[in-house]
Amino acid sequence: MFGRINGWCLALALSLLVFMTPARAQLVVGRDYVPIVPVQTTDNPGKLEVLEFFSYGCPHCSEFPPVVGKGPAALPADVVFKRVPVSFGRPAWASLARLYYALEVTGDLARLDGAVFNALHQAGGKLYDDKSIIEWVATQGVDARKFTDAFNSFGVISKVKRADQMAQAYKIQGVPALAVDGKYLVTGKETKGFTELIALTDQVINKARSERGKK
C-alpha cells in the first residue's frame, strides 16, 4: 500500500507535511479509508489515537524516506501515535515483535529501530530466531543479559499477544497499515508516495476530530 515510514518520523510528519500538500476535496469511503467495524476502544479515549501496524520482517516496512527527524512531541496536543508490531501467526515475525518490545523495555528502541530494518533488509541478517536476535543485539552495545530477561519476560510476551489480537480486531490484512481513533483504516488506494499518504491521514484525523466535536 505504501512505503515504510519510520515511526518517530511518521509522528512528526503527521504534524508537518500536511501543510505542504493540497488536501483532497472530499474523503471517499473505500478509496481513502474504510470504517473499522466494530469501532475499537483506544488506550487513551481522551486523545485521537493513530496506530501504525508494522513488522520488522516486512520489506515494505523497511522502505522509509529520510524525513525531517524524530519527535512525537510535535504532534497536535489531541493526537497520540503508537506502533503495533504484528506477527500474523508467523513465528519469525513474533520473535521480531518481541525484539521491538524488549528494546522498548531496555531503552534502546529509538537508537536501534532503524538498525533492525537495516540488518534484515540491507545487510541480509537472519534475525528470525531467538538466538540470532540476542546475538545481534549484543553486537549493538546492548546489555545482553538485560535484553534477554526483557525478551523472555511475561510482560513482553503479553504485549506481542495483545498486538496480534489488535491486528485481528482492526482486520489488518497487511502491513504497514494506519488506523485512526479506533474507527478508520487509512487505505490510500490512489495516493502517490509518502507526502500524499500523510496528508490523507491528517484528513482522516480531522474527520475523527470533527465527529468527536459533534457528540
Report pLDDT for 25. Answer: 66
Report pLDDT for 7. Answer: 53
Q: Which of 9-13, 30-34, 193-197 has the lowest mean pLDDT?
A: 9-13
Q: How far apart are CA 1 and CA 9, in angstroms?
A: 18
Report pLDDT for 19. Answer: 45
Output the pTM of the full model: 0.85
**pLDDT above 60: residue 10:** no
Helix, strand, or coil here: 89? coil
Which domains occur in the chain, in start order? 7-213 (3.40.30.10)
Average pLDDT score over the chain: 85
pLDDT tens, residue by residue, 98-125:
999 999 999 999 999 999 999 999 998 8
Report pLDDT for 200. Answer: 87
Regarding beta strands 48-54 and 177-180, do their DSSP bridges make them parallel or antiparallel, or are they unpaired?
A: antiparallel
pLDDT tens, residue by residue, 60-95:
887 654 332 334 556 788 998 899 999 999 999 999
Here the cell at position 97 is 515483535
Report pLDDT for 59. Answer: 84
**pLDDT above 90: residue 193:** no
Number of residues written out for the chain: 215
**Can you list the positions of beta strands (E) in the chain?**
33-35, 48-54, 79-85, 177-180, 184-186
Report pLDDT for 198. Answer: 79
Q: How far apart are CA 88 and CA 94, in angstroms?
A: 8
- C-beta contacts of 147-154 below 8 A and 24+ residues apart: 147/102, 147/103, 147/106, 147/108, 150/101, 150/102, 150/105, 150/106, 151/98, 151/99, 151/102, 153/102, 153/105
**pLDDT above 80: residue 23:** no
Q: What average pLDDT score do residues 42-65 get?
A: 85
